Amino acid sequence: MNSLTIARAIHIVSIVIWIGGVSFVTAVILPAIKSQYGFAQLESIFHLIEKRFAKIAKWMVLIAGMSGFYMVDQLSAWGRFTQKQFFWMHAMVLVWLIFTLALFIVEPILEKRHGKHSQNPKRTLQVTLLLHVILLTVSLVTVFISVLGAHGIF
């Protein structure tokens, strides 16, 4: 029981750092860059910040996944994935999969293919902001329904 509680605490701390970072990038960094658009250095500064955060996010996604699957095992909860009322468990795994793919596969491929500077930086910034808003919304809704689900609301 103790190890399950510790895994739960580790799970939440990693989620706080990871989704908190996504919130900061989405609500502060990207709009700030958008408002100052035109400064040539901004794209480089964004990549510098993003590169640092991506490193932290990768570790947090790894820790959240490990603690999450550990809890599933400890709770003998694998069967939940076949039950509709545990849709919030599916949502957690889905969000985790999206970020795992984005951080470990898609981003490195895109960076290799296009380099750090895009052909159309203004459009890239708009698309980046939109994607972050969508991902953040889905993540926050998942946090909300997961707390409700873990405490027996559904």
| Contacts with ligand HEM, residue ranges (CB under 6 A) | 8, 11-12, 15, 19, 64-65, 68-69, 71-72, 75, 77, 92-93, 95-96, 139, 142-143, 146-147, 150-151
Q: Which of 17, 29, 149, 15 is nearest to 95 (CA)?
A: 15
The distance of closest approach from Cβ of residue 110 to ligand HEM in the complex, given in angstroms and rounded to an integer, is: 22
Residue closer to ligand HEM, measured from CB, 126 or 137? 137
| 139, 19 Cβ separation under 8 angstroms | yes
Closer residue to ligand HEM, CB minimum distance, 12 or 49: 12
Give the HSE-up count for residue 109: Cα atoms under 13 Å, Cβ half-sphere. 6
**Shortest Cβ distance from residue 85 to ligand HEM (Å)?**
12
- Indicate the angle between helix axes 121-150 and 2-24, nearest 10 degrees: 150
Return the DSSP state at 85. Answer: G
Shortest CB 45 distance to ligand HEM, Å = 28
CB of residue 22 to ligand HEM, shortest distance in Å: 10
Tokens of 69: 């699957």
Nearest to 34 by CA among 154, 147, 124: 124
Residue whose C-beta lies closest to ligand HEM: 68
